[in-house]
Amino acid sequence: MKKFLLVLLNIIVLISVGTAVYHYYLAELDSSITVECDYDYDIELNSMILDCDVIDEDLISSNDYPLTLFLYDESDSIVLEEVLQVGSNQITLDSLNFNSLYSISIDGHDFIKSKYIETNYLEYDFSTVRENFIIPTWTYTEILLSDTIYRFLVDIVDDGDCFASVDIILYNSSNTEIVSHNYTTLENLEFSFTTLDPESSYSIDVRINYIINDFEQSASIVIPKDFTTIMTPLTPTAELLNVFSDNINLTFNLVTDNKDATDVIYTIELIDLNSTILYSETTTETDISLDVGSIDSNYYISVKASYLFNEANYTDVELAIYSIYKNALANFFTIPNLNIVDTSLPLTSYDDYDDYIYSFFNTGADEFVIYCEAPVDCSELVLNELYSVTPFLITDLVHAYFDVDEIGYSYTTTEVHYTLVHGYTNLEKTEVDQRVNTILNSIITEFMTDYDKILAVHDYVVDNTIYDSSCLDNILTCDNDHVAIGVFLDGNAVCEGYAHAIDIMLRTLGIPTFKLSSETHQWNAVYYNDAWYHLDATWDDPVSNNGSDILLHDYFLITNAELLVLDTSDAHTFITTYAYYLE
């Protein structure tokens, strides 16, 4: 019995092994050949060289089933027939006809399911060059290599009249294509790359494309070129530091560096907004002090240099500018329903009283006298509420520096003597002027429109000021919150401080503006695009619960109608006597 079981076990093992071997050979018998070829047509020799690799692991090809390369002409006649061997094969197809079409086909057999199956492994069509063909010739000339520019010339001679186009391809050091151009003319083949990085490696492929026969078969000549840009040579620099002006003396530090230039001459000029040169002098000094007491308008400092650089002479190259804004205290504009009048004359009409106050307030005087002649009784200007409120309405219409905190009176029937307490000392005005000059030089550019300037001023005030909520709860904490010093020097203010800062900056830029007040709030009116609009920087700088800074433009240059929609409270309810014309 044991012997029988042992025999049975051996039979089972043999059957299992036989089955595995059978399936293995069945799988192995399904085999194919792999053929890969490279083609190289030689225009000058009119010959085609093929390098073909044949992979036939199961030796399918044989004398009975050869792997054969056929060359057909344009009439499909076999011109050449050659058997390929396993491994590398190099075949040269010469004795080709000029200006003719040919086709290459490689055919053989695969072994599939125990059968040889006819298989085409490769087909390739090509055409030959015209007889007596002349390949274009070329010369490459480098014209300029600098830190950011590479310029070169390609001169192509096309005696065979076969030129098609030129491709210019620029690669960076990572071999990434960054510029590609195609040109179809032989004229003006001077090329420039003008935005390169200094001290960087680049490569160029100049690909000259041409047609070799009547079948529009193209070929190319590739000219590879490598180059590296040079370090940027440095021209002179100048910097203006610690600029200070009290409208009498202008002082600053001039820091210069010749860099790679020679024979450098520096010139300082003061130029007004009409491009008139008010002052000009060469200098070698670093500490500059100039008398500017006779200049009564905005101007700017210009530092220029003349020098020799890269064997070229440069003259009056502007290196640095700094604008000096003479704060617009004078009347470069007037409120539409008010006038500047001759206050040396006596007041003879109550209707002109506001013009007198407006004219005096615009001078910034700490005290002044108005004389009256019949029918005007000067005591009425103080005692009659119809007129006594006028100075407090006018104060919003003049420069913030002239804002009046207190008004004292002494009067008779023929004259009123006014004593004013202003919100700024002379020292504070000088400090604010300096700060405003610095700010405007950082946020205002030459080509800005008035809208751009107004927006820049609005955004600066909002971005650089924190609303001082504690001032509302305790007046003792307010310090400078009600004046522009709070914005420019402390970085915190309430609505008056915001409005004063906007007023000072816009007037400095020559943009008409004045302040608007309600019982609890103050903001600005701004003249833009032939109309007056509201601008409230305070309400565009809301106090957030988490303390984050917020910049809004909800109250930026808006009309009366828009203001009424945005604010339904009384916070923006203002007396319209001198502001009825707001949009």
State which of 144-148, 332-336, 386-390 shows the largest mean pLDDT: 386-390
Q: What is the DSSP letter of 374?
A: T
**Could you identify the residue written with the tokens 């309600």?**
518
Domain 236-326 CATH assignment equals 2.60.40.10: yes
Q: What tokens appear for 509 in the block?
A: 């830029």
Give me the pLDDT at residue 471, please. 85
Full DSSP string of 186-220: SS--EEEE-SPPTT-EEEEEEEEEEE-STT--EEE
Stretch 343-349: mean pLDDT, rounded? 97
Angle at 504 between CA 395 and CA 555, to 5 degrees: 90
> Residue 382 class from Cβ within 10 Å (0-12 exposed, 13-18 middle, 19+ buried)?
middle
Q: Does the predicted TM-score (pTM) go above 0.75? A: no
Q: By C-alpha distance, which of 335, 332, 334 is closest to 580?
A: 335
- For 137-228, which CATH superfamily applies? Immunoglobulins (2.60.40.10)
Q: What is the DSSP letter of 168?
A: E
Q: Is 11 helix (H, G, I), strand (E, B) or coil?
A: helix
Instruction: Specify the higher pLDDT residue, 357 or 446.
Output: 357
Is there a contact between 556 and 535 (Cβ–Cβ < 8 Å)? Answer: yes
- State pLDDT tens for residues 111-136: 998 899 999 999 999 999 999 999 99
Give me the pLDDT at residue 18, please. 47
Give me the pLDDT at residue 328, please. 72
Q: For the chain, how far is it from start to end, CA to CA, in angstroms?
A: 120
Instruction: Specify the higher pLDDT residue, 555 or 27.
Output: 555
- The pair phi, psi for residue 263, each rounded to 5°, is 55, 45
**Distance, CA of 170 to CA of 226 (rounded, Å):** 10
**Distance, CA of 291 to CA of 247 (rounded, Å):** 9
Type of residue found at 567: D
Give me the pLDDT at residue 442, please. 95
pLDDT above 90 coverage of the chain, percent: 80
Q: What is the DSSP letter of 414?
A: S
Domain boundaries, the chain: 28-127, 137-228, 236-326, 332-423, 436-582
**Distance, CA of 225 to CA of 228 (rounded, Å):** 10
Full DSSP string of 3-50: HHHHHHHHHHHHHHHHHHHHHHHHHHHSB--EEEEEEEEETTTTEEEE
How many other CB atoms are there within 10 angstroms of residue 510's CB atom? 15
Give me the pLDDT at residue 229, please. 93
pLDDT band with cut points at 50, 70 and 90 for residue 296: confident
Q: By C-alpha distance, which of 53, 119, 127, 133 is closest to 97?
A: 127
- pLDDT over 70 (residue 275): yes
Give me the pLDDT at residue 26, please. 38
Q: Is 393 helix (H, G, I), strand (E, B) or coil?
A: helix
Q: What tokens appear for 178 in the block?
A: 């960054």
Q: By C-alpha distance, which of 306, 317, 250 is closest to 279?
A: 250
Q: What tokens appear for 4 in the block?
A: 């029988």
Angle between helices 426-443 and 495-508 (to 10 degrees): 70
How distant is the alpha carbon of residue 471 from its chain centre? 41
Topology of 28-127 in CATH?
Immunoglobulin-like (2.60.40)
- pLDDT over 90 (residue 8): no
Q: Is 501 helix (H, G, I), strand (E, B) or coil?
A: helix
How far is it between the farthest Cα atoms of the chain?
155
Half-sphere exposure of 284 (CA within 13 A, CB side): 2
Computed over every residue of the chain, the mean pLDDT equals: 91
- State pLDDT tens for residues 350-380: 999 999 999 999 999 999 999 999 999 999 9
Domain 436-582 CATH assignment equals 3.10.620: yes
Q: What tokens appear for 15 in the block?
A: 């059957």
Stretch 189-218: mean pLDDT, rounded? 94
Q: Cα dist. 501→102, 186, 220, 342 in Å? A: 85, 64, 69, 30
| Domains 28-127 and 137-228 in one fold | yes
